Structure 1
């Protein structure tokens, strides 16, 4: 019978308001009887039972007024909190005060013999008893509810962190239904409060044997407080030990920001991907400056369907431009961008145009029709091995396509042109990197020509360089994930190869920030943080996956591939800017006439489709271009 009652209550939405009110009134009535019994004794209580009952009914009415004032019956008992208990204490205090005033009136003013109001000591006893009983009922119901709703598959967990972020996370997991996690303890990253109790559980310290101790204690998972996420990522040893001991690591995604105080979205806590564990510094940008630049403006984004371009679309749309002109030659991804704009930004006028930036006639028609005030140029072929085999396409798409967009930006009065380049443009060792360096040269020389009055225009050209972005199309992490799903092995080109990584949203934030601070002619380079050894990345991904018997195969450097990437060449200087993550490269500048002449000769040569002749010309334009692991190395020996 009791089990059926529990099942009914805990599976229904909530006990009705009147039910909670009746329960509280019954508690007040019982507390009054109890107080009078102690006041009058057993015989006196029996002799005055009806007079006591009449007085307590009057008292209950006074308490109902207090319950109404503080809304003690409006909450759901199973979800009671400290605030609810405070309201109960306030309500019983008010009810007791009203009862005392009524007692004075009945006993000394009206002198009603049929009603035996409680004395002051009886009222105090009734207040104490009713308050405690209401507390106990709510705590008991909540405890039974918490015990009943625990999922049998709930993970025994510890929380990394002890401050407001960790407390918020602990409250969140305790309120889940069904309960997915059972909190065992907290971990203090800085050693504070070790040995103390927090929210009824102990606080552990970080030490070399902690991961093995957690395993011995039956801990299934560690939940990392978002406030302590950066500290956690820095502790490679502890992370490796957790993975080795089979303890799941639960974190929020990199891109989701949380202040540690507001309610934490329950669906955002997930088992980590490798991206979540890579150390990184939080990127702060000047939101006001970016908003002032973009709000209400006509903005063009080329390569809008790509990894960087699509994120640029999302970030720019937040600032409510008057119009977005989105260009990419990939039809299906552009359809996805169109749906994204309709779904997330329906109030923004947007044009999703399937076109190649090399189509000068169509591009001019687009510029003439929309006259964009700002252009973010992200369109480019980017895969190193593909461009090694197709240098003509690198010239025609990357170099000529950039010139088409840049020249049209000047012709139609674009205020600022931001070109997205790559760290592979520095001391290039491959066709793709060299093609982007030639793009940089053209944009910078055109900006110089405008500043010197040699070319009529107002456009400011700004270039941004950065390295690999996590999760981009064709990057190493999605490749490794696919290889793990296929049973391995994971292919790494060289045991010593390292790369810098940055999150796509953070890279795009810095692009926007660089766009606002640039006055024209700058090449900005981003601080990419700590380099990551690719073989270590592969080993950690295998461990995180839990897959067994997956090996790593070294395949040798690909054509044009470096062991490490640079963001500055030997001849360049690193000049700081107002943003700590953005530097300005002081590069060798070219005359605009020379840049035009070189580009025309290179474009004409590209239509011969003679790879050696095309690459030879590229090396003439960019003398620091030295091929590696490539058929074009022979050109460097001549």
Structure 2
């Protein structure tokens, strides 16, 4: 049975069936006009009439390609093509008989136009019935093979929703039982569309109790509406699985493929209204420029590359030490931006010689510095490496940017640099302090690859600070997805732990905007919205997978990891913010350190780092950043020593 379902009739057989129906309909119409007087009919020119009609019909149907569609997917458009083909064939045939055959051969023994009129209605009806019957039979057989069907609600009650209903019924092969439409427009509710009821969104709880809805299907472009997000969250709480489909213009060959139906992601629920940025200003900043992105193969760095390329820079230099992710990014960029000029540069930012060679070769105008070690527990166990990359690596790039007269240097920082409780956050805070201290210098001798450079400082150093990004490498959401796929448990460190979240594209949009508005020395902080409780995030992700928390998938609490704190902050208590023209970007007012003091501290830190004495390294970090208080870490005893 499955073999039959997966096969379709050859096109020539469909064409042959169509012609048999056309010829039979014409012959029947002929008999009706002649009142079934067979002897008179056969003595006349019946065979000439039928033969010519069959030839005209065959040529017309073949050229109009009526036979090329799959019968099981027949739609209103296919019916329209049938009627058009029958009409055109009748028109051509009538013209041939009236203008050529009848006058030339002197045959006019029947009212051929009346025959054509009757034949038109008979053949059109039969061709339509055959297709609809075959489609209905196919769906019936398919349904009998799929077992229990899913009860589906479609969000919205408009023309696109009707198209979606028809696509699910046809493409789903009987897998779906459309329970109706659901909408928040009172003028549409409690009415029937295509034999299906339209319900109001407020009735979803009662509807779920009565009909046991399995799935809600939503167009992906509708997810931006806040009222829909609230409704979806209600559906998720009720155990209704939510799936999205792309806009109809993106359906393959005009048909919805089941592969195009995607499970709703947690990012869709957490995503806030679209950010409006000044593309004109960013474009004027980036167009025709040489742009360097460090950490370019990472989550943030690769998105910076994508967005920067859309502003048509002269070249984008992508620097990273991760070979495979860099190669994958190259393949993606070659496909998406085939005309763009991209240079891939494998290198470690702590290697000053390698970095000097890169700056000398490409002479970048703008630097986006996203390269960093970012995982808190890992850096807590490897403080020397955190200092080496996050502090020395940043210093190398900043010094080279001054030496090569880079216009702007934009550093990507983190909310963990505020009142840090771990090595990672503190290393980023020290990098922030150094970057800020560079602004306002009149001149400075910079050493790159043992070549001294002395020139006025022209580079504007800008820092951007934000929280967690959704779906970044190693973040909590991909981890939860993996755990759900394995059947759990989902591991959460603490019942009360909260984090700020932002999508990667919107974070990068704000980075570009802040980089454009920055004049040097600022630390820009982004509006991260409301903090999200991680355990609530875990429960939502379980429900989105169509499962129940602590029933199908357990949640276990593992305890805070080394250096981890319950709540992240974007500002120190003593800090204030200054608004900018963009409502989601503010400037943090922080203490500015003297350059000479900062360099002295960092030089001492690097000397200690060379000796690999972790305790002395961390002690020095606490002296540079007095607000750094270790939590849940082996370095907590240093705080007691420093305070005594």
Q: CA deviation at 1:324?
A: 4.9
Tell me: CA distance 1:95–1:472, structure 2 relative to 1, closer, same or farther (3 Å).
closer
Tell me: CA distance 1:591–1:553, structure 2 relative to 1, closer, same or farther (3 Å).
same
Tell me: CA distance 1:192–1:529, structure 2 relative to 1, closer, same or farther (3 Å).
farther
Picking from 347, 350, 355, the partner of 1:363 is 355
Contact 2:439 2:520 in 1 (8 A): yes
Q: CA deviation at 1:423?
A: 1.3
Contact 1:377 1:419 in 2 (8 A): yes
Instruction: Please state if 1:469 is matched with 2:445.
Output: no
Question: Is 593-602 or 367-376 further displaced after alignment?
Answer: 593-602
- What is the aligned residue count? 617
Q: Secondary structure at the match of 1:350?
A: strand
**2-side partners of 1:91 and 1:549: how far apart?**
56
Match of 2:451 in 1: none
Q: CA deviation at 1:534?
A: 1.3
Contact 1:381 1:398 in 2 (8 A): yes
- For 1:279-299, what per-residue CA distance to the aligned partner results, in whole angstroms no more than 9, with x for missing partners? 433345566765665566544
RMSD: 4.0
Q: CA deviation at 1:401?
A: 1.7
- For 1:265-307, what per-residue CA distance to the aligned partner results, in whole angstroms no more than 9, with x for missing partners? 6424233454444343334556676566556654433234443
Tell me: CA distance 1:509–1:205, structure 2 relative to 1, closer, same or farther (3 Å).
same
What TM-score do the two structures reach when normalised by structure 1?
A: 0.82
Q: CA deviation at 1:535?
A: 1.8
**2-side partners of 1:600 and 1:33: how far apart?**
101
Match of 1:25 in 2: 19
**2-side partners of 1:518 and 1:24: how far apart?**
71
Instruction: Please state if 1:568 is matched with 2:571.
Output: yes
Question: Is 396-405 or 274-283 further displaced after alignment?
Answer: 274-283
Instruction: Please state if 1:309 is matched with 2:301.
Output: yes
- For 1:408-445, what per-residue CA distance to the aligned partner results, in whole angstroms no more than 9, with x for missing partners? 11212333322110112233343432322232232233
Q: CA deviation at 1:597?
A: 3.7
Contact 2:224 2:273 in 1 (8 A): yes
Q: Secondary structure at the match of 1:515?
A: helix
Query: Which runs of structure 2 are paired with 1:145-156 in the superposition (5 Å)?
Result: 145-150=138-143, 152=146, 155-156=150-151
Tell me: CA distance 1:555–1:80, structure 2 relative to 1, closer, same or farther (3 Å).
closer
Picking from 197, 203, 215, the partner of 2:198 is 203
Query: Which runs of structure 2 are paired with 1:450-529 in the superposition (5 Å)?
Result: 456-481=456-481, 490-529=490-529
Question: Is 315-324 or 266-275 further displaced after alignment?
Answer: 315-324
Tell me: CA distance 1:116–1:295, structure 2 relative to 1, closer, same or farther (3 Å).
farther
Q: Secondary structure at the match of 1:48?
A: helix
Match of 1:440 in 2: 432
Match of 2:242 in 1: 249
Q: CA deviation at 1:378?
A: 1.5
Instruction: Please state if 1:634 is matched with 2:627.
Output: no
Match of 2:85 in 1: 91
Instruction: Please state if 1:193 is matched with 2:188.
Output: yes
Question: Is 261-270 or 464-473 further displaced after alignment?
Answer: 261-270
Q: CA deviation at 1:468?
A: 1.0
**2-side partners of 1:363 and 1:106: how far apart?**
86
Picking from 77, 80, 84, the partner of 2:74 is 80
Contact 1:358 1:396 in 2 (8 A): yes
What TM-score do the two structures reach when normalised by structure 2?
A: 0.81
Contact 1:334 1:352 in 2 (8 A): no
Contact 1:326 1:352 in 2 (8 A): yes
Contact 1:525 1:567 in 2 (8 A): yes
**2-side partners of 1:259 and 1:575: how far apart?**
41
Tell me: CA distance 1:144–1:297, structure 2 relative to 1, closer, same or farther (3 Å).
farther
**2-side partners of 1:37 and 1:524: how far apart?**
87
Contact 1:626 1:636 in 2 (8 A): no
Instruction: Please state if 1:262 is matched with 2:268.
Output: no
Picking from 403, 409, 413, the partner of 1:417 is 409
Tell me: CA distance 1:522–1:490, structure 2 relative to 1, closer, same or farther (3 Å).
same
Q: Secondary structure at the match of 1:203?
A: strand
**2-side partners of 1:367 and 1:375: how far apart?**
10
Tell me: CA distance 1:57–1:491, structure 2 relative to 1, closer, same or farther (3 Å).
closer
- For 1:491-517, what per-residue CA distance to the aligned partner results, in whole angstroms no more than 9, with x for missing partners? 433332211122334433433443344
Contact 1:165 1:227 in 2 (8 A): no
- For 1:70-103, what per-residue CA distance to the aligned partner results, in whole angstroms no more than 9, with x for missing partners? 4434444443332232233233333333444455
Tell me: CA distance 1:607–1:241, structure 2 relative to 1, closer, same or farther (3 Å).
same
Contact 1:106 1:117 in 2 (8 A): no
Contact 1:155 1:181 in 2 (8 A): yes
Q: Which runs of 5+ in 1 are unaligned?
A: 253-257
Contact 2:295 2:370 in 1 (8 A): yes
Question: Is 435-444 or 275-284 further displaced after alignment?
Answer: 275-284
Question: Is 79-88 or 69-78 further displaced after alignment?
Answer: 69-78
Tell me: CA distance 1:164–1:619, structure 2 relative to 1, closer, same or farther (3 Å).
farther
**1-side partners of 2:104 and 2:541: how far apart?**
84
Q: CA deviation at 1:341?
A: 1.6
Query: Which runs of structure 2 are paired with 1:475-624 in the superposition (5 Å)?
Result: 475-481=475-481, 490-543=490-543, 544=545, 545=547, 548=551, 551-577=554-580, 579-607=582-610, 614-615=617-618, 617-624=620-627
Contact 1:63 1:95 in 2 (8 A): yes
Q: CA deviation at 1:398?
A: 1.4
Q: CA deviation at 1:403?
A: 1.0
Tell me: CA distance 1:67–1:610, structure 2 relative to 1, closer, same or farther (3 Å).
closer
Instruction: Please state if 1:132 is matched with 2:125.
Output: yes
Tell me: CA distance 1:290–1:144, structure 2 relative to 1, closer, same or farther (3 Å).
farther
Question: Is 179-188 or 523-532 further displaced after alignment?
Answer: 179-188
Question: Is 416-425 or 266-275 further displaced after alignment?
Answer: 266-275
Tell me: CA distance 1:344–1:266, structure 2 relative to 1, closer, same or farther (3 Å).
farther
